[in-house]
Chains A and B, each alone.
Chain A
Amino acid sequence: MDAADDVNLDLAAGAEAQSSGPGETGELELVQRAKAGDVGAFSELINRYERRILRLAKRITQNEEDAEDVLQDAFLKAYENLDRFQGNSKFYTWLVRIAVNEALMKLRKRKSDRTLPLDEPMETGEETVQREIAVWEGNPEQKYSQEELHNILEDAIQSLAPSYRTVFVLRDVEELSTEETAAALDLSIPAVKSRLLRARLQLREKLTRLFKKQPEDMLAYL
């Protein structure tokens, strides 16, 4: 994977969710058919998005069992409310909003006995201070097996406060726009932007500790 060196951060490019390759039925057509009662069409929509919805749910809830419930409930709700889907947004974006709501409810239920409210990150002002400034190895991902890399990246996400984590996952992983993220989480646009910045910087900091280029003369001490 050499994606890390790819300069293209153009968020519009991340249309993976809705891209329909040649011979693949368009998302909107599937939705229309599902609305008309075509079971196969809705199953196809599930096939397309189940993995990403499950991953999203896991990342928000941090609990396997809850994530599986969220997956199921999100598709059930989507089916029940298909008539309300107007086609103004992508179906995937609409589905993500449903899943996010379900996941946040689960998370709140689990954390209700804890003290830190989900939507109020601690603003210490210290979080944007950069401590770890070092260039990365050329292809840091290649130092690790797929599984190790997966664990590293998931652990880093899980270490973020829920309010940062959720914004990061929606903006940078699911590639919702700032406006869509704000709407899904019921946040203001400036709040989404500042949380995204903190999330990105905190992740950068964590990954830098693992991915940074080791000075050559370190070898002398081995």
Chain B
Amino acid sequence: MLTCKDFLRELNDYLDKCCDPSVRAEIEKHLNDCPNCFVVADTTKKTVNVYKGMEAQPLSDKLKSKLMGVIEAKMRGCKKA
């Protein structure tokens, strides 16, 4: 029998879909029987997804031109071909 503590220990592998099928089946059985762990699994999954869905902000024009200035100077300085 899987306890709530066992479940927490397996949570990452469960969310990342890399635990073996027998463990997965045990976890799913536990989630069926244990509303708290079900909520933890569900909201942890949503937490990860909400971060994955975030777009990175564009660079400001000032930063972008500073970056390209530095890089281009470097590339001209050590042009390889």
Specify whether A and B are partners.
yes
Which one, A5, A9, A211, contacts B48 given CB within 8 A?
A9
Q: Is the contact region of chain B dominated by helix, strand, or loop, or is it mixed?
A: helix
Report yes or no: A200 in contact with B44, Cβ–Cβ below 8 A. Answer: yes
Report yes or no: A128 in contact with B51, Cβ–Cβ below 8 A. Answer: no
Contact string against A for B residues 44-75, beta-carbon threshold 8 Å, 1 for contact and 0 otherwise: 11111111111011110001101110111011
Which one, B43, B68, B79, contacts A208 given CB within 8 A?
B43
Report yes or no: B47 in contact with A207, Cβ–Cβ below 8 A. Answer: yes
Contact string against B for A residues 1-35, beta-carbon threshold 8 Å, 1 for contact and 0 otherwise: 10111110111001000000000000000000001
Q: How many A-B residue pairs have CB under 8 A?
A: 129
What residues of B have a CB within 8 angstroms of the CB of A136 in the complex?
42-43, 46
Which one, A39, A72, A141, contacts B67 given CB within 8 A?
A72
Which one, A14, A39, A54, A128, contacts B8 given CB within 8 A?
A128
A180 at the interface (CB under 8 A from B): no
Interface centre among A9, A68, A72 (most CB of B within 10 A): A9
Roughly how many angstroms separate A42 CA and B47 CA in the complex, as a whole number?
35
What residues of B have a CB within 8 angstroms of the CB of A5 in the complex?
46, 49
Report yes or no: A43 in contact with B17, Cβ–Cβ below 8 A. Answer: no
Q: List 25 A-B contacts (CB under 8 A).
A: A5-B46, A6-B49, A7-B45, A9-B16, A39-B72, A39-B76, A43-B68, A51-B59, A54-B57, A54-B59, A55-B57, A72-B71, A76-B71, A134-B39, A135-B42, A135-B43, A136-B42, A153-B54, A157-B51, A173-B51, A173-B52, A193-B12, A200-B44, A207-B43, A208-B43
Q: What are the 4 A-B residue pairs with the smallest beta carbon separation, nearest first?
A: A37-B81, A3-B53, A51-B56, A37-B80
